[in-house]
Amino acid sequence: MNLTTEKEQLSVFGLSYLLKTVLACIILFPAYSRLSNNSYYIRLVLPNIVIVFLLGWYLLFCLKPRTAIPVQEKESNRFLFLFISILLLYNIVCYFMNGLHNQWYWDQINYTIGFLFLLFLIFGLSQNQAEQFRLFRFFILVTVISLLCSYFLFGYGLQSLNICWDYFSRITQDYGGYSDIRNSWLYPHKSQYSLILLMTIFVVIRQRSRFSRKWMFFIVSAMLLTALYLCNTMAAFGGLALGCAGWFFDYLYQKGFRLNRYVIIGICIFAAAAALLLSWINSVRDLTTLGDRTYIWSSGIQAILENPLGVGLRFGSVPISGSNGWITDNCHNVFLNHALRYSIPAGILFTLLILLIMAYTIWTSRSFFAVGTWLGIMIILNMDYSLIPVQFPHFILLIYLIYIYKPPAEQTAGGISPAP
């Protein structure tokens, strides 16, 4: 009996089980606790608890000195060093600001766990292990289950279902007095679910060759597009257009660009679709002010400058004004909100971490698709408070599946996989 082999098999089995548990919690059961029934103040997040167990298991049983960083390219090592340095500085600043002024440590903890989860996915989980665990198949399975559940609750008249530790918070369609019907599923706001759906569509496009039947690819895509339409978030469709444009340019690059009638027809079709999309969005939102965002951002920046150390537990009660006297409670921008809540230095460092992830994934992908998808993601991040701690592990997982986890064609041939 080979005890070493049995221990290795047990450690790999535990890693697979914990990773799939993380995926299931992230997609189907992102339970959390919050302060005073306020979704701005999220405490314990169930997926993060499981992620801590996953990271602990990996460090205790799976980490080997020779393979601690399986990717040895210079840019990967530079990214790792720079990312850890900024993350450490971010935690020092947040800890100091929270102790001095803001008195809210939970977001710092939850975001840090999410960033460490990303480092594990990039440097700790090998491509072979992800294939062995059948990670993508499990991801699609739980995603389809989640979509079906969201359809059912939307048809039942619910806007969202927030899973708290001790109760389910059911939000009906008439809550908030909104003029539109929206679907937020497991998140407090539609923009948060829209971001997840948009990134999941990008995953399906990138990993399309993993579907054993083409009809499965089209059915899953149709389900995601339907859910995105029900969210009623205009920015998401703009982001989707940018991602599809990136895919189209990759297709032309792969085939060797030559201006022929098929390329001209494709460009005309895309241009017509983009014009119709812009016309539809403009009929719902005033594009000249980006749906009032220019006024909100200006007011938000003013509030940040007036509170450079952050407003802490006063976030949500600081008035941010739009046009015509309209008042909202946040900056409608993930990065501005972080600066308003936790200080200007904390907001800058958080922004640098996201930008560093973007730069690294674009550099390693070297594709128009990576550029287009990140532009689409950035649109939503800059248009609403679309990224919160309960959703952050899902965001990190999708970054891995879009940019790091290679489709079969790229594993064998390298470069950009051909379009279907």
Cβ neighbours of residue 90 under 8 Å, at least 6 residues apart? 108, 112, 346, 349, 350, 353
Per-residue exposure over 124-152, b if at least 16 CB sit within 10 Å of its own CB, e if not = bbeeebbeebebbebbbebbbebbeebbe
User: Would you say residue 417 lies in a domain?
Assistant: no
Q: What does the pLDDT read at residue 419?
A: 34
CA angle 346, 80, 138 (to 5 degrees): 95
User: Would you say residue 13 lies in a domain?
Assistant: yes
Q: Specify the pairing of strand 42-45 against strand 158-163.
A: unpaired
Q: What does the pLDDT read at residue 118?
A: 97
Phi, psi of 45 (to 5 degrees): -120, 120
Report the distance separating Cα 47 and Cα 34, nearest Å.
15
CB pairs under 8 A, 24+ apart, for 220-225?
220/140, 220/143, 220/144, 223/144, 223/147, 224/147, 224/197, 224/200, 225/201
User: Would you say residue 173 lies in a domain?
Assistant: yes
User: Would you say residue 66 lies in a domain?
Assistant: yes
Helix (H) or strand (E) holding 161: strand 158-163
User: Would you say residue 279 lies in a domain?
Assistant: yes
Q: What does the pLDDT read at residue 15?
A: 92
Mutual orientation of helices 106-119 and 392-399 as an angle, nearest 10°? 20
pTM of the model: 0.91
What is the span of the domain harbouring residue 8? 3-412
Measured CA to CA in angstroms, residue 355 lies from 80, 89, 105, 164, 351 at distances of 14, 16, 23, 31, 6
For residue 336, the cross-strand partners are none
For residue 158, the cross-strand partners are 172
Report the distance separating Cα 241 and Cα 228, nearest Å.
13
Report the distance separating Cα 159 and Cα 153, nearest Å.
8
Number of domains in the chain: 1
Measured CA to CA in angstroms, residue 51 lies from 3, 26, 133 at distances of 28, 10, 17
User: Would you say residue 11 lies in a domain?
Assistant: yes
Mapped onto helix, strand or coil, the DSSP state of residue 199 is helix
Describe the chain by its helix, strand, coil percentages, rounded to 5: 70, 5, 25
Could you say which DSSP state residue 105 is in? -
Regions of the chain short of the pLDDT cut 50: 1, 3, 66-72, 413-420
The runs of H, that is alpha helices, within 133-260 are: 135-155, 190-206, 214-231, 234-255
User: Would you say residue 418 lies in a domain?
Assistant: no
Helix (H) or strand (E) holding 391: none
Rounded (10°) CA dihedral 138, 141, 142, 147: 150
CA angle 130, 135, 139 (to 5 degrees): 155
Q: What does the pLDDT read at residue 1?
A: 41
Q: What does the pLDDT read at residue 204?
A: 97
Cβ neighbours of residue 246 under 8 Å, at least 6 residues apart? 367, 368, 369, 370, 371, 372, 373, 375
Q: What does the pLDDT read at residue 266?
A: 72
Mapped onto helix, strand or coil, the DSSP state of residue 369 is helix
User: Would you say residue 240 lies in a domain?
Assistant: yes
Q: What does the pLDDT read at residue 9?
A: 81
Mapped onto helix, strand or coil, the DSSP state of residue 351 is helix
Count CB neighbours of 97 within 10 A. 22
